[in-house]
Structure formats: C-alpha cells, structure tokens
C-alpha cells in the first residue's frame, strides 16, 4: 500500500479533501463482509501458492494470521480503522502481522472481483436466513390453519363480503404465496452461485490461477464465472434477491392488512395478545395491532430499495463503476428488514386469537350464500344466468324485509323461488355452503385439513433440506411440526 495507507495511492502525492474522504468511505456499509473477505483472502492465498507465487511456508504464515484475525474479531469485534473499505482494513491488519508478505496477497486480484465474491458469499448466507424465516412463518400459518380448518369466516372481494371461507383456508392462502417466495429465493441463489474471484478488475488475472478449484474451495456449486467483465460489473443477482424480498414483503403487507382489519372493532374477528400489541399514550381503551402495522410499513423500504438499485444500474457503462459501491447500502438493510419482518409476522400470527363464534355468526350474514342459492336453482334446471337474476331479486326482497336469504318467509320463497321445494335454512347454512366446496383448492373443511397435512409433510421435507414441491401423500400421518421440531 502507499504511504498514506491507500490501496490505490501509488500515483498520488496529495491527500484527499476531508469531506470527499468521508463521502467515499464505504466501511460503514461493507464491514458486514469482513469474515467473507477473510475467507476469500485465504482461498486466494492458497490459489497463489498453487500458482507458485507464494511458498507453502508463506501460505502457512498467511493462514495462521488470518485465523488469528478471525478469532480476535469473533471475540472482540472488528476494530475501528481509518481504512476506506473492509478490504483495506484487512490488508492493513495482515501487513501489520506479516510485513511484506501481507502486501503480496493482493497479487493478481482487484477489489472489483474481491468485493463481487465477498458479496455473493454474504448474500448466500442472507438468502439462507430468509428461506428459514419464510419456513418459520409458513409453520405458524399452517398450525393456525390446523386449529381452524373447519371454522367459518366471511370471505371478501373488493373488501365486500362475498362467500364463506374457513379461517384455515385464509391462512393457507398466504402459505402458498410464501412458498413461491421461498422458491424465488432458492432460484435466485442458485443463479448467483458462481465465483467471480480471479476476474481481476475486468480482464481476468495474469497469473496461473485454477479458477474452478478456487470456486470449489469457496463452495460455489456453479463453478467460476465465465466472463471477467460481466463478473465484476453485473449486479442482477442482487436485483433478483431484492425482488424476491420485495415480493415476500408485499405478501406480508397484505397479510398484515387483513389482520389489522380483522382486529378492528368493525370486524372483531381476532385480537392480538399483549406480546404484539401496544396501547395509546392518550386513549386508555386502545389496543393497537402495531406489529402488523410496522411490518406493513417496512414493505415500502424493501420495495424502494429494489427500485433504487434498478435505477442505479440502468445507466452504467460496462465495467466496474464506483456507483456500485452503493449497492450494499441498498441491498443489505433491505434483506435484513425482510428477515426481521418475517420473524415478527410469525410471532404476530402465533399471538393472533380468532373469535370463532363471531366469525361463524358473521359468515352467515350479508347474503354470502347467494351464489349457493343460484347453484341450487341450476341444479333444479334453471340456466345460471337466469338463476343469477332470480337470486338478485330474492336478495333485494330479503333486504326489504331485513332478513337473510335462508330466513325468507315460506310465502316469499314460493313466490320468488318456485323451482325449489323449501328447506332453504338447512341447504343455505354456512356449513352446507362450505361443504359444497369439496374440490382441490376449495375451502371445505376436509380439503383444508388435507392441505394442512400436506403442508406439514412438505415443511418436514424442507427441514430435511428438500426444496422441491414433490408429489405428497396427504394420507401419511405426520404429527404437528411444532410438536416434532419444537
């Protein structure tokens, strides 16, 4: 390094303006890559040894210094430094321990391929945490569905009451969404699973580095990147991870919106336990669903990070540009926010208590069985479009009388629905309406229970490391995962 400690300072005699020096310093944002950078320094040193640039004895000294540094940082934390980035910090530390040998480690390497590799290693860990936290939230929702597989509640379209569903069916809808988010994360992780190290600044290294062996050493299953210019300049893998996170946060935000509405006095379908609710500093009666509101708000941060990264990349010429230094300050906080929100959402779901009696009562109000009445007319031989019109008139009459469809007086039934033979109360009861939806993907309690069993099997497979949505046997007896895995 130059006398002023800069990795690039050989041509420069003067120092940086203090304001610009602070402005261009990235240590605050890339310090999280420190341990990944230690790994890449050791792997690169091993590759240099294989290429004859350093000796076996020198490699032993380098490995010992890196091991000591990692142990110290794990125990005491990473010290403050005047270095402009994490790579400079580590080089300073290694030079202090190894002298000139520490200066040789950067042979044939650029900070461009170094940071690209560090970032992929770190993002691989971040994606793994996100997958685990998605699985945790799925488990909470599956167990909520198991507890309420047969409990009715109103279903909505346009935020207007539409048809009865079960609480369990509602919970499993979000499991389906989150499972797709999980697959997107795994897919994005697999696509970025290539090693840029050895690409140099843009043209590749001039030393005889076995890049495939280097990729294997750092556990990149996709091998080495195939174009050095692309490897150091591209950040689409960050965009993919951010999109997967933004999509997951969008799904979380919708779940939060549902639960906030369900907890309102107007709906009163559920209440939150003390662990995830707060009160008002002024109004003593308030019980606010703050956990869900905060998660809903965080979705904006993650979505904004994705848009900012896309805008950052769109005008860059090919090759590394210093603009890319900003990628970490956009991506890493967004991934951390997503992880935290998934954990908090799971806790909030666990502490959400449904008033099943009220949910059942409300599922029988508001003419939610109108479609079923039309279906009964179709079964009696009335074309559906005609049946739709007949039921519309019946609803209008029920509104005039202040009753539900199944409460229409017998004389009104004979006048409005002459094709039917009465007994609407039983045939239009909430449980009967639910039971008719006994099809794959339907809300019938038996179908919801079967999906719960299927998801428990799948969650167990995920826990064992399987990633594919295989054909599952819903008749296999699998205990609740919360009992089996704690």
Question: Which range, 8-12, 28-32, 43-47, has the best average confidence (pLDDT)?
Answer: 43-47
Compute the distance between CA of residue 229 and CA of residue 212 in angstroms, rounded to an integer.
Answer: 17
- Asked about 280 being catalytic, the answer comes back as yes
Residue closest to 166 by CA, chosen among 437, 426, 383: 437
Which pLDDT does position 461 carry in this prediction? 94
**H/E element, 162:** strand 160-166
* Residue tagged active-site, from 280, 353, 467, 485: 280
* 437-449: average pLDDT: 98
Domain architecture of the chain: domains with CATH: 9-107 (1.10.275.10), 112-355 (1.20.200.10), 370-428 (1.10.40.30)
**Helical ranges in 77-197 per DSSP H:** 86-98, 100-104, 111-147, 167-191
Model pLDDT for residues 377-389, shown as the tens digit of each residue: 999 999 999 999 9
Model pLDDT for residues 221-251, shown as the tens digit of each residue: 999 999 999 999 999 999 999 999 999 999 9
Compute the distance between CA of residue 486 and CA of residue 479 in angstroms, rounded to an integer.
Answer: 12
Residues 6+ apart with CB under 8 A from 440: 447
Least confident of 331-335, 345-349, 471-475: 471-475
- Asked about 158 being catalytic, the answer comes back as yes
Q: Binning pLDDT at 50, 70 and 90, where does residue 9 land? A: low
**H/E element, 155:** strand 152-157
Burial of 36: CB neighbours in 10 Å, binned 0-12, 13-18, 19+: buried
Least confident of 164-173, 209-218, 300-309, 469-478: 469-478
Is the per-residue pLDDT at 12 higher than 70? no
Is the per-residue pLDDT at 13 higher than 90? no
* 246-262: average pLDDT: 98
Is the per-residue pLDDT at 481 higher than 50? no
Model pLDDT for residues 277-322, shown as the tens digit of each residue: 888 888 888 889 999 999 999 999 999 999 999 999 999 999 999 9
Is the per-residue pLDDT at 42 higher than 50? yes
- Average pLDDT taken over every residue of the chain: 91
Is the per-residue pLDDT at 470 higher than 50? no
Model pLDDT for residues 365-415, shown as the tens digit of each residue: 999 999 999 999 999 999 999 999 999 999 999 999 999 999 999 999 999
Residues 6+ apart with CB under 8 A from 161: 154, 155, 365, 366, 367, 368
Which pLDDT does position 439 carry in this prediction? 97
DSSP string covering 351-412:
TEEE-HHHHHHHHTSSSTTHHHHHHHHHHTT--HHHHHHHHHHHHHHHHHHT--GGG--HHH
Residue 422 vs residue 70, higher pLDDT: 70
Helix, strand, coil distribution of the chain in percent, nearest 5: 65, 5, 30
Compute the distance between CA of residue 336 and CA of residue 341 in angstroms, rounded to an integer.
Answer: 9
Task: Round to the nearest angstrom and report the end-to-end CA distance of the chain.
Answer: 52
Model pLDDT for residues 192-219, shown as the tens digit of each residue: 999 999 999 999 999 999 999 999 999 9
Is the per-residue pLDDT at 20 higher than 60? yes
Least confident of 1-15, 46-60, 283-297: 1-15
Compute the distance between CA of residue 59 and CA of residue 48 in angstroms, rounded to an integer.
Answer: 9
Is the per-residue pLDDT at 482 higher than 80? no
Q: How many CA atoms lie within 13 A of 279 on its CB side?
A: 7
């Amino acid at each position: 390094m130059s006398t002023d400690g800069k990795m690039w300072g050989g041509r420069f005699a003067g120092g940086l303006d203090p304001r610009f020096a602070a402005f261009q310093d990235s240590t605050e944002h890339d310090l999280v890559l420190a341990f990944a950078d230690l790994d890449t320094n050791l792997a690169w040193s091993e590759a240099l040894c294989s290429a004859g640039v350093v000796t076996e004895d020198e490699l032993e000294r380098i490995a010992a210094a890196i091991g000591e540094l990692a142990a110290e940082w794990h125990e005491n934390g990473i010290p403050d430094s005047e270095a402009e980035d994490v790579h400079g910090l580590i080089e300073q530390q290694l030079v202090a321990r190894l002298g000139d040998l520490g200066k040789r480690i950067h042979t044939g390497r650029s900070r461009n391929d170094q940071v690209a590799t560090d970032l992929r290693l770190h993002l691989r860990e971040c994606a793994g945490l996100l997958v685990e936290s998605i699985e945790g939230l799925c488990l909470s929702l599956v167990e909520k569905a198991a507890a309420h597989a047969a409990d009715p509640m109103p279903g909505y379209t346009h935020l207007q009451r539409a048809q009865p569903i079960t609480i369990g069916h509602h919970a499993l809808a979000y499991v389906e969404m989150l499972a797709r988010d999980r697959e997107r994360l795994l897919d994005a992780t697999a696509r970025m699973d290539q090693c840029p190290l050895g690409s140099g600044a843009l043209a590749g290294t001039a030393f005889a580095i076995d890049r495939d062996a280097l990729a294997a050493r750092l556990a990149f299953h996709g091998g080495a990147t195939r174009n050095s210019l692309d490897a150091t300049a591209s950040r689409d893998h960050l965009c993919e991870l951010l999109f997967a996170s933004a999509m997951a946060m969008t799904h979380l935000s919708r779940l939060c919106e549902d639960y906030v509405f369900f907890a309102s006095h107007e709906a009163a379908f559920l209440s939150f336990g003390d662990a995830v609710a707060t009160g008002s500093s002024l109004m003593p009666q308030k019980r606010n669903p703050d956990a869900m509101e905060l998660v809903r708000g965080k979705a904006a941060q993650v979505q904004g990070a994705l848009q900012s990264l896309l805008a950052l990349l769109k005008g860059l010429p090919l090759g590394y540009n210093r603009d890319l230094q900003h990628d970490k300050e956009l991506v890493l906080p967004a991934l951390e926010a997503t992880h935290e929100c998934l954990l908090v959402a799971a806790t909030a779901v666990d502490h959400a208590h449904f008033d099943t009696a009220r949910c059942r009562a409300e599922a029988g109000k508001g003419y939610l069985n109108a479609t079923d009445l039309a279906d009964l007319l179709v079964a009696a031989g009335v074309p559906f479009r005609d049946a739709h019109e007949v039921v519309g008139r019946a609803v209008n009459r029920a509104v005039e009388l202040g009753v539900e469809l199944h409460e229409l007086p017998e004389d009104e039934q004979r006048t409005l629905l002459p094709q039917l033979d009465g007994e609407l109360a039983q045939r239009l009861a909430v449980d009967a309406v639910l039971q008719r939806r006994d099809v794959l993907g339907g809300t019938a309690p038996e179908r919801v229970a079967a999906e719960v069993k299927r998801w428990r099997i799948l969650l167990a497979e995920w826990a064992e490391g399987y990633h594919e949505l295989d054909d599952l046997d819903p008749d296999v007896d699998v205990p609740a995962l919360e009992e089996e895995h704690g």
